[in-house]
Amino acid sequence: MVLGVLFAVMRASTPLLAGLQGQVRYYLTTDLDLRGATQQVFSSGLREQIARGWRVFPELWDRLTGRDDQELDDDVSFAMPVEGTVTSGFGYRPDPITGEVTFHTGIDIGATEGTPVVAALAGTVTNVAEDDAYGKYLEIDHGQGIVTLYAHARDILVSVGDPVSQGQTVALVGMTGRATTTHCHFEVVVSGQPVDPLQMKGLSDSQ
Ligand SMILES: [Zn+2]
């Protein structure tokens, strides 16, 4: 993973990435703990570099930082979809399977198989599907441009068109699709952009 990151950074040629490259070199030459070096770069350094260099691309900046500054109604307060532990946050991370750094569009909540997955807000089920990545998943439309997605389920308990209330059980935790543990991958999409669920009202204090 470290070499992959380094290689990707070395190949890049934009001013931002040149800065990043310098930073990676700095860590590598002054600190031989490679693991610590990359973690440090990707936890704080990357965001700061992007803040400075890529502010000209506001959409990308928002996406990278999870800061969309979306104006949601005050009464929109999310419920945590699964009682469990957040094992992986929103944003760049080493892929749990390949180790490559990729953008994680949601959060992972670890829980034992069969744990209820509940609707984070009231809404209408708009998609129930299965694919290689998400496994069995569903999407709920909550209006105001807000959609939530719940993936890797063992079972889906609702159908397209069903109205659901906040807290209603819609699925059971599993590890279908691209998953190495039983967990729920939970996404919040606002106006078509994935945002950090843990920045949403009602969830922001559950980290
Ligand atoms: Zn995930």
Residue 15 clears pLDDT 60, i.e. is over it:
no
pLDDT tier at 73 (50, 70, 90 boundaries)?
confident
Query: For 11, how many CA atoms within 13 A lie in the half-sphere containing its CB?
Result: 6
Ligand 1 centre to CA of 136 (Å) is 13
Question: Biggest alpha carbon distance in the chain?
Answer: 57
pLDDT digits (tens, 9 = 90+) for 88-141: 999 998 888 888 999 999 999 999 999 999 999 999 999 999 999 999 999 999
Q: 101-117 in b/e burial notation, b at 16+ Cβ within 10 A?
A: beebbbbbbbbeeebbb
Q: How far does the centroid of ligand 1 lie from the alpha carbon of residue 202, in Å?
A: 20
Distance of CA 108 from the midpoint of ligand 1 (Å): 5
Instruction: Give the H or E element holding residue 36.
Output: helix 34-40
What DSSP line would sit under 86-137, residue for residue?
EEE-SEEEE-TTT--EEEE-SEEEE--TT-EEE-SSSEEEEEEEEETTTEEE
Q: Which residue has the higher pLDDT, 64 or 155?
A: 155
Report CA(186)–ligand 1 centroid distance (Å): 7
Q: Above 80 in pLDDT, residue 10?
A: no
What are the pLDDT digits (tens) for 41-67?
A: 455 445 544 444 444 455 555 555 555
CATH number attached to the domain at 85-199: 2.70.70.10
Distance 130 CA to ligand 1 centre (A): 15
User: So what's the pLDDT on residue 55?
Assistant: 45
Distance (Å) from CA 43 to ligand 1 centroid: 18
Distance CA 128, CA 193 (A): 20
| Residue 1 confidence (pLDDT) above 50 | no
- CA of 143 from ligand 1 middle (Å) equals 23
Is the Cβ–Cβ distance between 185 and 106 less than 8 Å?
A: yes
Q: What spacing in Å lies between the alpha carbon of 29 and ligand 1's midpoint? A: 33
- Does the pLDDT value for residue 198 go beyond 60? yes
Nearest Cα to Cα of residue 94 among 8, 154, 201: 8
**Extents of the domains making up the chain:** 2-56, 85-199
Q: Is the pTM of this model over 0.85?
A: no
Inter-residue contact 125 to 118 (CB < 8 Å): no
Tell me what the mean pLDDT of segment 31-43 comes to. Answer: 46
Q: What single-letter DSSP state applies at residue 162?
A: -
In 3D, which of 164, 117, 116, 115 has the Cα closest to residue 106? Answer: 117
> What's the 109 CA to ligand 1 centre distance in angstroms?
8
